[in-house]
Chain A
Amino acid sequence: MAELRESLSLYRLLIAARVRAQLQYRTSFAIETVAAFLVSFLDFVAILVIFSNVPQLGTWSVAQVALLYALATLSFAFTDLVIGHLDGFPALIRDGNFDLMLVRPKGTLFQVITGDFQLRRLGRVAQALLVLGYALNTLAIDWTPDRALVLALTVPSGVLIYGSVWVAVICIAFWTVEGREAANAFTYGGAFLAQYPMNIFDRWLRRFLGYFVPMAFIAYFPALHVLGKTDPLGLPAVLQVASPVVALAAAVVASTVWRFAVRHYQSAGG
């Protein structure tokens, strides 16, 4: 526990130092934040354009899809804020800089995660919050304690799921540097998939990216519960409240994969 508190306070210091450094370049920061906002907004524009042609998408209304989109994007945006720099991890391995993390008195995963923090990524968070506001405002949700609880747990669970997927797939870099771009199919691909109703996708895509890589638990299942909507796929209702459990399981798998990969690095060497 003391160990955790110490790590968190160290992380807070790291973030504070970074934010100070980034705010030195105000124009850069402003432009890149706005750009992040707009890039993220594009996906939602696509949804709006689709709904200007049809009233429903696989039984989901525009506000319902907006809720899916907002939950998925918010989870993705926070994950991106915390560990978006993991895209550069293969370069870290290639240049041998991972060695430096092994000679410091902290866990390697902690050091990798805290290795950067780009405040401009808040642009995406802002955009997702706006859409969430729109969705909650438009949908007449019949609030009950369990629905509120499920909604509150959705984004933290989503962050843990995305983060776990991200960490697990970048472990490929311990074996091959070229694997990075292929991993985008899981990270960015999964994030894109989660913005839409699972039931519009073909079965094998659902099984693979929805359940095996558990993207369906990021927004689809919890949204069904919050909306009191019948699952068009007819899957057991317990799945709709299972996201936190799935997230913890994903985290366990990811940290196991990470430890295995680091042990491989130490015995193979680079």
Chain B
Amino acid sequence: MPLIELEGVAKDFVVHRSAGLLRRDRITVQAVRDLTFSVERGTILGYIGPNGAGKSTTVKMLTGILVPTAGRVSVGGLVPWDERIALARRIGVMFGQRVQLWWDLPLVDSLELLRHMYRVPADRYRHTLASLREALELDPFIRTPVRQLSLGQRIRGELAAAMLHDPEILFLDEPTIGLDVVAKQRVREFLIRANRERGVTVMLTTHDLADIERLCSRILIIDHGRLIYDGDVNALKERYGTERVLVVDLEEPQGPLEVEGGRVIKVEGPRQWIAFERARTNAAQLAAAVATRANLRDLTVEEPEIDDVVRRIYLETRP
């Protein structure tokens, strides 16, 4: 039986928009429509889509924060909003931009309090904490009040808090947002280890394509509240993520360059954007071609943005 199941799930919000001092208009917004999918145990699932697509709403329905307007949800055999407390013991949740730890307390105190809240037996707590301290390198700052931690340290602390009671499922909302490259890598490695060694199922929302490439065995893409892609990362990249953009800075502004295998999509003074298909050519060949036609000062390669990928899928799947 799948660990997570959704069937025909919809969520409407009623928003009040102020129209004048005391008058308000009621507007119904459909955040999620007819969502059906299931997730097997042991998956690392990337749940992606542009802002406002319905990602957070879905995660909130799976964790018991919101009740859907229609449809059926089952997480670990439980109905999240009806069996909220039983579910809470079996899941770990981390919202990258929210502080779950007690702001004014040292990290170690927060973890100790959570142990009691989640009724983790003392010996198992000691064991889990020891492995989390090692994996997340918590020791240098474990006695520091949370408000004094850097973002990267705090995220590691939050991950430890989410893992303390050995959850079966980890829900992560933008876990790497705002982190530097090293910190991002550390978080990803930790998640991979937790998945391999403890069999934790992970569902994460992210804007970071690298998160998806390095972590996810399966991805779901949602846009305007509908599921528009369900499959693995490679298939997605092969189909939609094959276009790269080479950005070149020239010594002097000039008209759009004509180079084999690329087409100029934008010109801004001495800077030009050249799109190319990875299957047909590569950045080095393209750069060499540019160098024969103009004096090159600098160049960078832009990875496709997740929003671009989504837009392309959306255009293709639209009826």
Flag if A18 contacts B65 (CB, 8 Å): no
A21-B105, A266-B81, A269-B66 given as contacts; is B93 within 8 A of A103 (CB)? yes
Q: Is the interface of B mostly helix, strand, loop or mixed?
A: mixed
Flag if B117 contacts A267 (CB, 8 Å): no
Flag if A14 contacts B66 (CB, 8 Å): no
Query: Is B192 located at the chain interface by the 8 A CB criterion?
Result: no
A17-B105, A97-B98 given as contacts; is B117 within 8 A of A103 (CB)? no
A13-B112, A17-B105, A269-B57 given as contacts; is B65 within 8 A of A99 (CB)? yes
Cβ-closest chain A residue relative to B92 = A103
Segment 72-94 of A: residues with Cβ below 8 Å from B: none
Beyond A10-B113, A102-B65, 4 extra complex contacts between A and B, CB < 8 Å: A103-B65, A105-B86, A266-B65, A266-B81
Flag if B105 contacts A102 (CB, 8 Å): no
**How many chain B residues touch the partner (CB < 8 A)?**
35
Flag if B95 contacts A99 (CB, 8 Å): yes
Alpha-carbon separation in the docked complex, A14 to B64 (Å): 25
Flag if A99 contacts B98 (CB, 8 Å): yes
Flag if A268 contacts B95 (CB, 8 Å): no
Interface residues in chain B, defined as those with a beta carbon under 8 Å from any beta carbon in chain A: 11, 13-14, 31, 57, 60, 63-67, 81, 84-86, 88-89, 91, 93, 95, 98-100, 102, 104-106, 109, 112-113, 116-119, 145
Cβ-closest chain B residue relative to A12 = B116
Flag if B104 contacts A21 (CB, 8 Å): yes
Instruction: Determine the chain B residues whose CB is within 8 A of the CB of A9 once the complex forms.
Output: 116
Chain A interface extent, by class: 20 to 34
A21-B105, A100-B95 given as contacts; is B85 within 8 A of A106 (CB)? yes
**Which among A18, A21, A100, A105 is the interface contact of B89 at CB below 8 angstroms?**
A105
Instruction: Determine the chain A residues whose CB is within 8 A of the CB of B86 once the complex forms.
Output: 105
Query: Is A26 located at the chain interface by the 8 A CB criterion?
Result: no
Give the residue among A14, A97, A105 with the most B Cβ atoms within 10 A.
A105
